[in-house]
Amino acid sequence: MKKLPEIFANNRRWAEQITREQADFFPRLARQQAPKYLWIGCSDSRVPANQIMGLMPGEVFVHRNISNVVLDTDLNCMSVIQYAVDVLKVEHVIVCGHYGCGGVEAAWRDAHLGLIDDWLKHVQEVARRHRGELKALKQEPQQLARLCELNVAEQAAHVCRTKIVQGAWARGQPLTVHGWVYSLQDGLLRDLDVTVSGPDELPGG
């Protein structure tokens, strides 16, 4: 584990390196951000949005919570989406889950871990809606992997149904919602092909 002074030393090296390569990088970014992507991902320390996508500071707006849940009653998540879509005018909203997600696993096993149990009820709701498909897989590793994917698809659909995204589409603003899943095993992203670019593409109307 790194000691805190080491982290500050790392930070100085990092800032110096970027400044060496691009002298105006920080002053330019300080004036404004214009990211094209909003990433909604899991809080898991192994799933850092910028690094996975190879993007620099300024290139992706980020919201993370346990198991990448999108709820229209979550003021935090909705404020991030609203600001990203209405003010920053991002062109892509990416909901990215990951295999091996501890939150998804706890939800599937109905684990009792404290306050987080209430949050994970939203993932359990996804499991309940797809119970038949999940039970048919029989082996738990496959069930968990599939639930990670189904959770992404459902949360991406929640993004599409928000007044914010519906409003953007209604006024003709280009905006696409994507569902991706990341593998901790190989560091690779997979597109789940649940991409939606307008209200007529929403599954189930």
Q: Which residues bind Co ion (CB under 5 A)?
A: 42, 44, 101
Q: In a 10 Å sphere around its CB, with 0-12 CB exposed, 13-18 middle and 19+ buried, how is residue 136 labelled?
A: exposed
**Quick check: is 98 catalytic?**
yes
Q: Residue 101 or residue 153: which is nearer to Co ion going by CB?
A: 101
Least distance CB 130 / Co ion (angstroms): 18
Cα 1 to Cα 4, 7, 11, 42, 47: the distances in Å are 9, 10, 16, 22, 18
- Calculate the CA dihedral of residues 73, 97, 149, 136 and round it to 10 degrees: -90
Nearer to Co ion, 101 or 150 (CB): 101
Shorter beta-carbon distance to Co ion: residue 101 or 159: 101
Looking at the Cβ atoms of 96 and 101, the one nearer to Co ion is: 101
Closest separation in Å from C-beta 126 to Co ion: 14
Q: Which of 44, 77, 92, 160 is catalytic?
A: 44
- 44 assigned to active site: yes
Strand pairing category for 176-182 and 92-98: parallel
42 is catalytic: yes
Give CA–CA dist 100/49, Å, rounded.
17
Active-site choice (46, 109, 128, 129): 46
CB of 104 to Co ion, least distance (A): 7
Of 63, 92, 96, 101, the catalytic one is: 101
Phi, psi for residue 166 in degrees, rounded to 5: -60, -40
Distance between CA atoms of residues 68 and 122, nearest Å:
10
User: Residue 105 CB, nearest distance to Co ion (Å)?
Assistant: 9
101 noted as active-site residue: yes
Q: Compute the distance between CA of residue 30 and CA of residue 24 in angstroms, rounded to an integer.
A: 10
Active-site residues, by number, are 42, 44, 46, 98, 101
